[in-house]
Amino acid sequence: MLRIFKLARTWKRFEILIQTLGRTLVDIATFSILLFLFIVTFTLLGLELFANRAKFLDDMVDNVNGSSPRNNFDRFMNSFTTVFIVLTNDGISTIFYDYYRAVGAISAILFFISLVIIG
């Protein structure tokens, strides 16, 4: 690894590329912190709205005897992962449909649409 940086001193264009990469990482750091704060905010909002409210037994909502879906808002890490999955648009329809059935249309629609649009 150090040999690559030693090589950068001899190749001028490679040195410029390394410097540009370093400046880009500094610029991305600010955006990454903002994105992390946004994800944490929606994680906490999801915990408030949906924690332990979506439990299913034989494809019907049963909060007493049912089990939570794989992507849920029951704990902080599960909620954080679910928000990340929704932001990457990987399986958002299943997650949305589960919470649409469990808690109702208004809160599920407002939460997920604002998460996708703002995020």
- Residue 46's Cβ-side half-sphere holds a number of Cα atoms within 13 Å equal to 29
Fold of 2-118: Helix Hairpins (1.10.287)
Map out the domains of the chain as residue ranges.
2-118
Do 71 and 111 touch, CB atoms closer than 8 A? no
Q: How confident is the model at residue 113, as a pLDDT? A: 94
Q: Taking the model in full, what pTM does it have?
A: 0.77
CA distance 59 to 37: 34
Q: Has residue 95 got a pLDDT over 80?
A: yes
Q: What residue has token string 């880009």?
A: 24
User: What pLDDT, in 10s, does the model give residues 27-49?
Assistant: 899 889 999 999 999 999 999 99
Q: How many Cα neighbours within 13 Å face the side chain of 113? A: 7
